[in-house]
Structure 1
Amino acid sequence: MSLYYERDGDGDPVVFVSDAGLGGWLWGWQHAAVAGPFEAIVWDLRGTGRSDAPSGPYSLETLAADLEAVLADCGHRRAHVVGCGLGGAVALEAARSTTRVETLLLFGTAARADAFGLQALFAPPDDRQALESSLEAAFSAEFCETQPDVLDGIVEWRADGDADRDGWGAQVAALEGFDARDWLVEVTQPTQVVHGTADELVPVDAGRDLARGLPRGEFVSLEGAGHLAFIERSRAVNDQLLGFLEDHIED
C-alpha cells in the first residue's frame, strides 16, 4: 500500500485532507499561503490520484491510520489538520483516536453521515463535461458565473488527479454509519468549523451543530459561498487560516 504526498516549507506542519474523490489539487490555494511560515503537507487519499487504490470499502479508521502514516513518514509527532467533507470526518476521527492532531480546521463538515450529500460532487475523470457540470454543486452560482477560467483549470486538475468510480465509492463508504455526536466531547483540540452558507452538499446548520458539540469549537460562516468555500473565498480563508494557526503555534 503506497500513499503519495508532497511537502513544502518549514515550521510547524499543516496537513490537508481532501474531500471524497478529490485530488491534492483541492488545496492549491491554501498550500501557497501556508508553505513558508509552516510546512504544508498535501496527500492523495487511498483510491485517489497517485496513491494506491486497493479494493474497498474503506473505513474512517483506515483513512485516519493513513493520515497517521503520512505524518510518521514525514517525521512529525503532531500536526495541524485541515479537512473538507469526508476529509473533515477523517480529521475528527484522527483527533479522537490518535495523538497526532494539534488543531483542527474543518470545511463543509458534519457530525453525522446523513448530513453529507456528496454524490453530486462525483464525475468520472475521463468525462470533461460531467466534471464541469458537477462543479455547479461544489460552488455558488455566482462563483460559477464569474470565474469560468478558474473552473476550466479545476476541470483539468480533476481529470488528472481525481478518483475513478471505484475509488470514489470506496471512500464514500467510510461515512456509512458515521455519527460523532456522542464522542465529540472527546475531541478537545482547538477547532474552527468554517461553512459556506450556500453549501448544497452539507447544510450549514450541520456545521453549526458540529461546532456546538465540540468542547473548543468555533463556527465561522462565509456568506453566499458553496461547499468548496476555501476556493471561492481563498484570500479571506487564507488570512483566517494563518491567523488561527499562528494563535496555536507551540512554543
Structure 2
Amino acid sequence: MPTASNGSVSLYYEADGDGETVVFLGDVGYGAWQWGWQHGGLSGPFETLVTDLRGAGRSDAPAGPYAVDDLTADAQAVLEAHGARRVHVVGAGLGGMVALELARLSSRPRSLTLLGTAAAGADLSLDPLFGAPDDPDTLESSLAAALSREFVDANPDVVEQIVEWRAAEDATRDAWEAQAAAVEAFDISDRLYEIDCPALVVHGSDDAVWPVERGRRLAEGLPRGSFVELDAGHLVGIEQSRAVNDRLFGHVESA
C-alpha cells in the first residue's frame, strides 16, 4: 500500500496508467470511492493518482480542526513521494479548494478541473452531507443532499453500492468536522488572479449544498477560468459522469 508522510500524518494514495499525471482530491468526508466514475475514464492515456485526504479512507485522521493549508501540504507530500513534478489536478468541494491553493502556491498544476466548489466556504451548510460510516440508514439518507432525487430514484443499485463504499471509506464525525472546518475558514476570493493555469469549473445546477452561483463566480474570478453547468446535484461527477469525463479529458488533453 503506497503512502506518503507529512510530518506524522500518513497519507494513502494509488496510481494507475501511464502518461501525464492527473491527481484527484476529494470532497468533505468522502473516501476515494467518489472518483470511480472518473478514474476508469482517464487511466490509460493518463496516469491517475487518487489520494484520501487526511481524515478519510486509508489516510490518518489526526485531531482537528484542519486547514486547507494542511491539506495542500499533504497533497504536496503525496506528489513528492510519487515523483510527480507537473500534474493536472481535479478537485471536488474541499478538494477543489486544495487544488486552488496548490495552484496559487506552486507551479505543479498544469490545469485545474474543479467540481462543485467555491473560492470561499463561509456560510455553507455542509452538515446534510454527513453520514455516519457505521449507520447505513444515514449514509443513504444523506445522499439526498448530494444527488438529485431523479438520480436516486432511477439508480437504486448505484445508491446501494455507494452506501457500501461510504461505510468502508468515509470519515467519522470528528474527522468530518475537522475537514468541514477547513472549508469554513477558506477564502481566496481576492487572490484568484494569482492562479494562471487553465481552470475548468463544473457545477451541478441543483447543488443543494454548494450553490451553483458560487461556482459561476469562481470561474469568473479565475484569469483562465471557464464554467460548465450541468443538470445534477452536488456530486456532478457521478450524476453526469459521461459529460464530466468528456470535458475533463478534453481540458486535460489541451492544457
TM-score, scaled to structure 1? 0.96
- Which residue of the partner structure matches residue 156 of structure 1? 164
- Which residue of the partner structure matches residue 15 of structure 1? 23
Paired residues for 1:16-165 under 5 Å: 16-114=24-122, 116-165=124-173
Q: Distance in 2 between matches of 1:230 and 1:47?
A: 22
Partner SS state of residue 11, structure 2:
coil
Q: Is the 8 A contact 2:67 2:185 kept in 1?
A: no
Give every structure 1 segment of 4 or more consecutive aligned residues whose post-TM-superposition deviation is greater than 3 Å. none
Q: State percent identity of aligned pairs.
A: 58
Q: Distance in 2 between matches of 1:162 and 1:173?
A: 17
> Which runs of 5 or more residues in structure 1 are unaligned?
none
Report Cα offsets for 1:160-214 as digits up to 9, x if no partner.
0001011111111112332211100001110000001000011111110000000
Q: Structure 1 residues 95 and 147, CA, compared in 2 at 3 Å: closer, same or farther?
A: same
Q: Structure 1 residues 228 and 49, CA, compared in 2 at 3 Å: closer, same or farther?
A: same
Q: Is the 8 A contact 2:123 2:184 kept in 1?
A: no
Q: Is the 8 A contact 1:68 1:100 kept in 2?
A: no
Q: Distance in 1 between matches of 2:74 and 2:106?
A: 12
- Which residue of the partner structure matches residue 243 of structure 1? 250
* 1:98 CA drift (Å): 2.0
Partner SS state of residue 176, structure 1:
helix
RMSD: 0.9
Of residues 213, 236, 247, the one that matches 1:229 is 236
Q: Is the 8 A contact 1:115 1:203 kept in 2?
A: no
Q: Is the 8 A contact 1:16 1:41 kept in 2?
A: yes
Q: Is the 8 A contact 1:104 1:189 kept in 2?
A: yes
* 1:141 CA drift (Å): 1.0
Partner SS state of residue 116, structure 1:
coil
Report Cα offsets for 1:119-141 as digits up to 9, x if no partner.
11111100000000000100011
Q: Distance in 1 between matches of 2:18 and 2:123?
A: 37
Q: Distance in 2 between matches of 1:189 and 1:104?
A: 7
Report Cα offsets for 1:81-129 as digits up to 9, x if no partner.
0011111111111111122211100011111112533211111100000
Partner SS state of residue 53, structure 1:
coil
Stretch moving more, 167-176 or 150-159: 167-176
Partner SS state of residue 4, structure 1:
strand
Stretch moving more, 45-54 or 150-159: 45-54
Q: Distance in 2 between matches of 1:206 and 1:77?
A: 30
TM-score, scaled to structure 2? 0.95
> Which runs of 5 or more residues in structure 2 are unaligned?
1-8
